[in-house]
Structure 1
Amino acid sequence: MLLASTIAMAQERKPQGEVNIEAEKDSIVSNVADSLTPANRLVVQDTIKTDTLKTKSSLLSDVVTYEAEDYMRLSRKENRMYLYDQAQVTYEDMVITAGLIVMDNEKNEIYAYGIPDSTGAYSQKPIFTQAENTVRPDSIRFNFDTKKALVYNSRTEQGAFKVRGEVTKRENDSVYFMKNVRFTTSENELDPDYFFYARRIKFVPNKKIVTGLVNMYIADVPTPLGLPFGYFPLTDEQTSGFIIPSFGQTNARGYFLQNGGYYFAISDYVDLLALGDYYTNGSYGLRLESSYAVRYKFRGNLSFRYENLFDSEPGFPDFSKRSVYNLRWSHSQDGKANPSSRFSASVNLGSSNYYQESINQTNSANFLNNTLSSSVSYSKTFQGDPQVNLSIAATHSQNTRTQQINMTLPTVQASIGRIYPLAPKLGAKKGLIENINLQYNFRGENRINTTDSLFFTSQMFRDANFGAQHTIPLSTNFKIFKYLSASTSANYQENWVFKTFDRSYDPITKKEVVDTIKGFDSYRTYNFNASLGTTVYGMVNFGKDKKIQAIRHVMRPSISYSYNPAFDQYYDQYEVVNDLDPSLNRIVDYTRFQGSLFGAPGRLFSSSLGLSISNTLEAKVRDRDSTAVEPKKITLLNNFSMSTAYNLAAKEGDFRLSPISLRGSVPVIQNKLDVNLSANLDIYALDNNNQKINKLNINNGGSLFRFTAANVSFGYSFSNKDFEKGGDEEDKDKMDDETFRNGGRPDDLFGKAPNLDGSLYEDEDAFEKNKDEKKDNEWYNYSIPWDVRVAYTMTYNNSARQNEISSHSIMFSGDVELSPKWIVGASSGFDLKKQGFTYTQLRFQRDLDSWRMSFNWIPFSDRSSWNFFIGIKSSVLSDIKYDKRKEPDRRL
């Protein structure tokens, strides 16, 4: 018997309020077998003589332990054990807890029910737990021999699904059959905003749900959405599967299927997403995207996109076709993976007009980019004395307007750390001699200048220009009179090139003739520099009882000298002949290195003196926090500098003094908003034709300085958290931003890019932030989250008496959470000079509990469009969505 070895040890404790349970006759007919009763317990009456061999009684494979809070009572007549209040039975990896548990020793079965609490409510409902699976039914019937169970009104969570069944039959520890089942991803499983209803399902925990006829209900209303059968994966791991496309219509290309394809879960370290678009006029697009990551080593993503576009229909006069493509690759290495070497990549190249003409909605925030750039680099450090650094890089820069492409394939750089040949072996280096140091730098480069039409053709590689540059800087620094810091340096440079250009004049065509000469050639240059500077401090104290306790002024004046000799030996001449008037013949100086990899050596001798002074103003103010012990330090003026240069080698008639340059920033909000200022002042005057002349402006009837140019700019990002205690926002990894990886801005000033499914939810937790706090807050004291990003710039030009503002604009982007479930946002700008709005995007997002809805609208411009999306949040059911959009007319 099940309890034979434990009855003698049990001790019955009389509860405070004893519950009398009347004995009832078992409703199960003894001569009818059910699915939970073992066959060997059936009583069969017939005239056949029974077998003389004794049948072996079934034995449990493990010890059954049980306990209860109120009482444990054994009924010998019924051969049952009753456990009341916080009852629990454990057998192998199975645990059943309930308010009332009845153990039937005759049938080796267990029954679990809830009990009423002091208010009469049904409480302590059964909980059936096996391994990681938990079921919460109204009642349970379990057989120890067959290990089968019947569960009534069960509730369980499997992955993103919440499953609720009227009757559940446990076939074994991995298969359940359920009747009249509702399953949903809604958080409210008792009253979900939507659910799927199936009359019968097969449920395999952590693996799948297989159903018969299934219908979708929204707000308890059945919908026409139904399937004769269904399959729902439950695994938490990434799994391969089809991606259902979106359906729609455009005026230019007809009906379409977009973003359909297949997801390949290759391994835990890498995946692949293959998507495609097709339009009924023949246009199509293909996209391959892959992400990979190895923890503590590296991570990255790779994307290739190709689109073959047709406008209108073949045979119509407005028909046109073209193809565009784009390749992106980003790779970052963990800093701790290998401290001595590093590999990184940031690639964004393709057709110059890709972002302007792409039918992919994720590029809507990137068509304003004028430049595509790429860099792939590897660096290695060889420790030693001196240290050696080596780097190999390939770079790419592409102007999308001019379609000009500049590439280096590759650039090799090597450097040897500073060597102090005269420094003492022990102790610090002192004085002019001991601080003498030198370095060696090498740069080898293969540079390619081409266009879109010649990209990666044989012509592109034939026009490549390559060479090498060797640089040896020699420098030292020392103190003069303890307060003056002096430094001097001499720089030697040798340039090797393998392509030069000989120039001559053709009297027949009357044009310059340029001949390319391939072969090794070289030239050498050198220069000398010296500087002297110091730091001056000034302090004014107002007293500790004042709001402003002190102001400190820091000045850093410096004077520098640079000497650059003329390298005339590398220059030649040719004569331009005038057949009509020989007196008009002229001599043209040129160098064969003009147009070579590292440019031409300087022909003009220069000797100039540079003057600069920088200023910083700081103040100590009384902290508003009364508990603060020390005063607060703030910056009033940050690095405001004035600089100019005087050319000592200028010839008569040349301008000796360069324009005075003013640079600095004014902190408006500490550590948040700095207004950057710059201006140029010129002492020379203009003639009546607005041409600069070698005459002081003050001697020409003007002021001492002529204001020629100015610029004011600032960028500011703030939110409601900036006005809350400890409200610092977390930094977002830029590489996780789709717009940034496309080469755009990560600050949303050009708008937000929708996901591939058309939604605007780059951050799927947008509505989940501070969710618990929102539940506790009442409406009247609810804090409305918001964030704003602003960029402003103004440029003034008066170099030739224009007296005009050449550019003046402001850009802004922001989002406001009007309610816990509504977010509205906008990205726009205004050109204050031309009095017009720049590219504008309006965004509306609504949290529908289990669903999400968004509306993205570009109200005007040639990219006017809108996109409406509504779909289930859960990634398991992301294909259940509705997406409607109006695409912009991109015909040229």
Structure 2
Amino acid sequence: MTFPILEFTFVLQKIRNTFLKFMYIYNKTQAVWLVLFLLFAIAPGWCQPVLPQKAAGDSIGFDADEVVYHVQTRRVELTGNATLRYRDLQLKAGHITYDQNTRHVTARALPDSTGAKTVGPPQFTRGSEKISGEYMVYDLDTERGSVRDGRASHQRKHYRGAHIALDGQKALNALNLSLSTCDRDHVHYDFLCKNVRILQDDKAIGRSVTFRIGPIPIFWVPFFVFPVKRGRQSGLLTPGVGSNSRDGIFVHNVGYYFAPSEYWDATVKSTLRERGGFLLESRFAYARRNRFSGSMDIGYDHDTSGDGTAHNWRFNLQHQQRINATTNIRGSGQFSTSTNFDRRNSNNLYRYLNRQLRSSFSFDKRWTESGRSIDGSLTYYRDLRAKNNSFQGFPRLSFRQNRRRIFGGNEPTSVTGPWYRAFYYGFSSTLSNNFARNPDPVPNTERVSIQNRVTVNSQHRPLGWLDLTPGFNFGEEFIYSDTDSTTRRTSYNAALSSGTTLYGIFQPQIGRLRGIRHRFQPRLNFNYNQSGSIFQGKMGFGGNRRWDDARRSINFNIGNTFELKTQRDDDVRRFTLATLNLSTGYVFDAPRQKWRPLRTSASLKPDRRVDVRIAMTHTLYDSTGQRALLHPRLQNLTITSNFRFSGGQGGRGNMVIQSALPDRYDPGYDDGYDAGYGGGYRGRYGADFGFERDLYSDFGGASQPWRFNLSHYIAMRRFGNTTSKTSWIKADIGI
């Protein structure tokens, strides 16, 4: 970006001021003559009066590869990746010209190597409007503009017009406008309007409307109204045209959307095929906030692609309702008379590949005070390919009791209360009935199960500083199945966890450092697990019991955290400088190597811009499998380093012009552009950039944000006698 005239003006100003001060000291008479000379020689060109400025919200911001300010004509030219911002307006183009006198903005594309103007076509954004074109003119005061060969998109509708005129904030007019849902450069179908007026967030009114498939006109109407309002509203749907090898040319989405209420709406649409019949679809949806919602979909396929005519139906429904604050019901169903309905009529990949129909009903109820809840469901699947019926959870009932105190009700636990009030329990039970009805010769299956689980745990501090947490889990499942010989499964788990937290505090008072705190957290966990199964018998009674081997283990964990406190004036900051954690364990029932690997993790974050993390795994056995607790062997090492820097720097990267208030209007002024339809803006407004008072006051305080990220990763992994290493460095800069 260059500012040749601006920099030259700034240099002259500084030289003039310094020289005047020097001459005033030594010779007042000569100083008077020099002042008069400078006023008459320099002031007419560059020393214009500074007019009252607008608020910061009315400033014009722009940037480009090259910026040139023409002092005499008071125009700013932006060339190469040009961007201009004003209020909620943003304009991007290859070349932008801003006239301060008229407050007119013109934008155009730059020529490419062949001479065609295709580099940086103008792109205009104002609020929700987005328009692009070949050439553009806009008046910042009247908010009127003109676009040649314009294009716009709104709610999946695409507009193309030979000439589009922006009429204030609420409307735009267009000549020879093409409207379509096809986003291709050469649209397959569209509505061609000779003259159209688009009201923002309301409707588009077109005159002499022709519906075309490619270049071929299909039908014509004298006028048509297209809805462009945001949100739900009744109206005709926008049809689309397509083709495939099966149906030939087809027109889809021909129908009507009816939204008479905020609580429900309905849609009826059709698909007309060149061959293969037609498809009718309807959808009825309803909803009331925090009460209920649902929908019903009906599809009818009139299929003439075969030897005869087939009439296929599909019906889907779903409903969910909130009975009260703690009770809900939900239901859904899918029904079809054809196994290929979705494969023939859906473009959705999941529905095309899905070969199942699913219907379900469920309810749930909870009691918040006691922490209890119950839910039930019925689920049915129909496999269209295998033609079998599967009932999964038909029914399925579940009861759950959340964590609750065994003694003492729900009163808060007192620190000095009896120890037995710190015991809690939880319970859950689930009944599930699953069966399938298969076509011959595949046999039917049936499985009924009842799962129960009980948990008991507690937390104590016997010495005031030692945490002691015992826990016990018991689970059991009763099974009736015609395919599984196991009729009962049982599992036990007992755990005892103990630990404490020790603090070390140092107050060095060095520089801004006010304190260092070390948090040391050792912890020990003991676990006992055992499970068993019963074979044969009835629902777990009778039969043969077999116990699995018990597993006993003990785990050791040590955590270290180093925290700093700094102070600068009244700004106090606390942050974590580093962490160091180690863990290992011992498995009593392991056949060979009973000691678990030693895992180490560490982090260092001296500043928010620096973050280093280390992870290591050591085996406590040597290469021959012998125990070596004092000489652990490194197996894995990972080091990740991240350095992040960001900021903003003042300079000439972004230039902001504080525009003056309009002071006069000249209806006789013509800027030389008249497109014949909303163009030809006439008017002159007095304005001033005010560069003379302080050249950098307009753009020197602007900030150009930047960021720089540098990441380094190194990893080492050892497998037996083989060692692999990985390392990479990544850097990125954003401006």
Taking structure 2 as the reference length, the TM-score comes to 0.45
Higher relative contact order (CA 8 A, sep 6+): 2
Taking structure 1 as the reference length, the TM-score comes to 0.39
